[in-house]
């Protein structure tokens, strides 16, 4: 696939972009390395001011940036505008807390003075996905820049305008030339860029295949990586849950971003005692969802980002149904232009079908029935992934068990899994490793230097 803006609602190619040449990539690597030498010496106060300014620009341009995101990847405009504003929150979070996260930490040892110091390491490559085209980038860029690192962005090939917009926002905010650069390149160039000795580490958010490929290339060069990969998050509903709230929130948790979120609730695991009632409420909400033009205010679900994603989702659903799965609603792509797929619920998920273990990246909910909490936890953990988990119960003992026994990077009780700048974000198992956001996210790309003085 080339680098292009193709409107997923209409199929229209709006703009194509030439990939950078070898010479252009070399120039950007050189500028990044040169900039790091001076940038790392800028004061924390200065970096914080630049991040604050970036936040103002993100808010000022929220409408325009939202329209850009919606045009490139199809999320409803209201969510896109909210995403731009969330990036501002992320910038302010690191502007306000970065200095405290980076302060020396004294240690008691046999030295006259010993402490831990946090230092930037240089140029970090970020390979990012299209699904949250601004938020994914800012949650990397804000902590990296605050810590004194410089960034190179290889964004997904279907969101080039968003990729360029991030560089423009950070430049307008005042960050020096070379502190953050967008590389318009295909994924075939990533391994070569990581190999370059001027690149010190890399982070990737995306599929398992892309993550494995990046980690292998980085591993050969002894370079650190952070991987934020896929998920098939459970959404567990137990007997004492507030069923109305669980059903309403479950729909939001599944449908956010047209169903294309790594932390979307994908497997709804419901105890038999309340399964009929939950399914009824859940279905009623699905029946009320509006699929259509993502630019319209009342649209709940826009098109999927690319025809390939639509085709893969369709295949997963057809295969699950062929093996015995039942369709409660939806189940087939919508006819006409655009990559539209209707809100779909599948039940009676057959063992061995794609519904059992695969990630469904679109508006398809999978409902599983279990007898009790033991079965619910066992089923939730029987997944190659371990990103987030949401569980609904008002029984404190059950809440404690879920917190302790669910195998995931995060557990949310009586709420949907979400990212928040002040909470670390990441997964275990095939969902990846390392963390973004909070203090932990900032520390991933630092030299944690031990200092001992006598
Ligand atoms: P993808 O195909 O892996 O693309 C993600 C990024 O990786 C793009 O920039 C892509 O570039 C690049 N890429 C693809 N193959 C690569 C390779 N072999 N080497 C280096 N880079 C490569 O992912 P996607 O299908 O677009 O995104 C959806 C996946 O991302 C889902 O599994 C979702 O769960 C996951 N995700 C995870 C998180 C998280 O935080 N854990 C957040 C969002 C999404 P091109 O576009 O040029 O191919």
Please tell me the distance between residue 421's alpha carbon and the centre of ligand 1 in angstroms: 21
- CA neighbor of 343 nearest in space, from 292, 294, 308, 298: 292
pLDDT digits (tens, 9 = 90+) for 106-123: 999 999 999 999 999 999
| Average pLDDT rounded to a whole number, residues 382-389 | 98
Q: Which helix (H) or strand (E) holds 151?
A: strand 150-154
Q: Residue 58 and residue 53: Cα distance in Å, rounded?
A: 9
Q: Which helix (H) or strand (E) holds 233?
A: strand 233-237
Q: Which helix (H) or strand (E) holds 22?
A: helix 22-39
Beta-carbon contacts of residue 151 (< 8 Å; ≥ 6 apart) = 123, 124, 125, 126, 140, 141, 144, 145, 179, 180, 181
Report pLDDT for 141: 98
- For ligand 1, whether the C-beta of 190 sits within 6 Å is yes
pLDDT digits (tens, 9 = 90+) for 58-114: 999 999 999 999 999 999 999 999 999 999 999 999 999 999 999 999 999 999 999
pTM for the structure as a whole: 0.97
Mutate which of 127, 210, 424 to test ligand 1's pocket (most atoms within 8 Å of Cβ)?
210
Residue 130 CA: nearest ligand 1 atom is 26
pLDDT digits (tens, 9 = 90+) for 16-66: 999 999 999 999 999 999 999 999 999 999 999 999 999 999 999 999 999
Q: Residues of the chain with pLDDT > 70: what percent?
A: 100
pLDDT confidence of 195, banded at 50, 70, 90? very high
* Domain range annotation of the chain: 3-229+431-453, 233-420
Contact 444, 433 (CB under 8 A): no
pLDDT confidence of 307, banded at 50, 70, 90? very high
Mutate which of 207, 230, 383, 428 to test ligand 1's pocket (most atoms within 8 Å of Cβ)?
207
- For ligand 1, whether the C-beta of 417 sits within 6 Å is no
Report H helices in 40-104: 44-60, 62-73, 77-102
Same topology between domain 3-229+431-453 and domain 233-420? no
CATH 3.40.50.150 fits 233-420, yes or no: no
- For ligand 1, whether the C-beta of 370 sits within 6 Å is no
pLDDT confidence of 14, banded at 50, 70, 90? very high
pLDDT digits (tens, 9 = 90+) for 127-147: 999 999 999 999 999 999 999
- Which protein residue has the closest C-alpha to ligand 1 atom 16? 210
Secondary structure (3-state) at 345: strand
Q: 91 an active-site residue?
A: no
Please tell me the distance between residue 310's alpha carbon and the centre of ligand 1 in angstroms: 16
Q: 239 an active-site residue?
A: no
Tokens linked to 446: 């630092």
pLDDT digits (tens, 9 = 90+) for 144-167: 999 999 999 999 999 999 999 999
For all residues of the chain together, what is the average pLDDT? 98
Q: How many helices (DSSP H) and strands (DSSP E) are in the chain? A: 15, 20
Please tell me the distance between residue 73's alpha carbon and the centre of ligand 1 in angstroms: 14
In angstroms, how far is the first alpha carbon of the chain from the final one? Answer: 59
Residue 132 CA: nearest ligand 1 atom is 43
Tokens linked to 284: 């009623």
pLDDT digits (tens, 9 = 90+) for 178-190: 999 999 999 999 9
Tokens linked to 425: 């974000």
Q: What is the CATH number of domain 3-229+431-453?
A: 3.40.605.10
Q: Is it the case that residue 426 has pLDDT exceeding 80?
A: yes
- For ligand 1, whether the C-beta of 161 sits within 6 Å is no
Q: Residues of the chain with pLDDT > 90: what percent?
A: 100
Contact 234, 265 (CB under 8 A): yes
pLDDT digits (tens, 9 = 90+) for 222-240: 999 999 999 999 999 999 9
Q: Is it the case that residue 1 has pLDDT exceeding 70?
A: no
Tokens linked to 256: 């956010």
Mutate which of 90, 187, 219, 254 to test ligand 1's pocket (most atoms within 8 Å of Cβ)?
187
């Amino acid at each position: 696939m080339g680098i292009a803006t193709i409107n997923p609602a209409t199929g229209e190619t709006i703009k194509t972009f030439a990939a950078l040449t070898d010479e252009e990539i070399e120039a950007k690597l050189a500028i990044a390395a040169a900039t790091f030498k001076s940038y790392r010496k800028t004061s924390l106060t200065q970096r914080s001011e630049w991040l604050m300014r970036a936040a103002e620009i993100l808010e000022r341009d929220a409408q325009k940036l939202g329209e850009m995101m919606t045009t490139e990847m199809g999320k409803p405009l209201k969510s896109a505008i909210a995403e731009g504003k969330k990036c501002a929150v992320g910038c302010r979070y690191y502007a306000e807390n970065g200095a405290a996260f980076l302060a020396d930490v004294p240690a008691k040892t046999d030295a006259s003075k010993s402490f831990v110091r946090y230092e930037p390491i240089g140029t970090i490559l970020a390979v990012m996905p299209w699904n949250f085209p601004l938020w994914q980038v800012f949650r990397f860029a804000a902590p990296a820049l605050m810590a004194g690192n410089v960034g190179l962005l290889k964004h997904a090939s279907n969101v080039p305008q968003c990729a360029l917009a991030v560089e423009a926002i950070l430049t307008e905010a005042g960050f020096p030339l070379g502190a953050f650069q967008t590389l318009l390149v295909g994924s075939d160039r990533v391994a070569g860029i990581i190999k370059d000795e001027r690149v010190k580490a890399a982070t990737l958010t995306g599929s398992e295949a892309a993550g494995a490929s990046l980690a292998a290339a980085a591993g050969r060069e002894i370079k650190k990586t952070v991987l934020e990969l896929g998920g098939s998050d459970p959404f567990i509903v137990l007997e004492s849950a507030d069923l109305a709230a669980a059903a309403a929130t479950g729909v939001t948790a599944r449908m956010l971003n047209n169903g294309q979120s790594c932390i979307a609730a994908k497997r709804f695991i419901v105890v038999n005692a309340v399964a009929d009632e939950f399914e009824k409420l859940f279905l009623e909400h699905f029946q009320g969802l509006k699929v259509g033009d993502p630019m319209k205010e009342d649209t709940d679900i826009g098109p999927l980002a690319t025809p390939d994603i639509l085709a893969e989702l369709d295949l997963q659903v057809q295969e699950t149904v062929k093996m015995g799965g039942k369709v409660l609603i939806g189940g087939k792509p919508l006819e006409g232009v655009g990559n539209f797929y209707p809100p779909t619920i599948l039940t009676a998920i057959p063992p061995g079908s794609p519904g059992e273990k695969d990630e469904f990246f679109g508006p398809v909910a999978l409902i599983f029935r279990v007898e009790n909490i033991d079965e619910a936890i066992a089923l939730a953990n029987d997944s190659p992934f371990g990103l987030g988990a949401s569980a609904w119960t008002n029984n404190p003992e059950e809440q404690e068990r879920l917190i302790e026994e669910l195998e995931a990077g995060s557990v949310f009780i009586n709420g949907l899994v979400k990212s928040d700048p002040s909470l670390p974000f990441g997964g275990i198992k095939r969902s990846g490793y390392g963390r973004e956001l909070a203090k932990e996210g900032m520390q991933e790309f630092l030299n944690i230097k031990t200092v001992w003085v006598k």
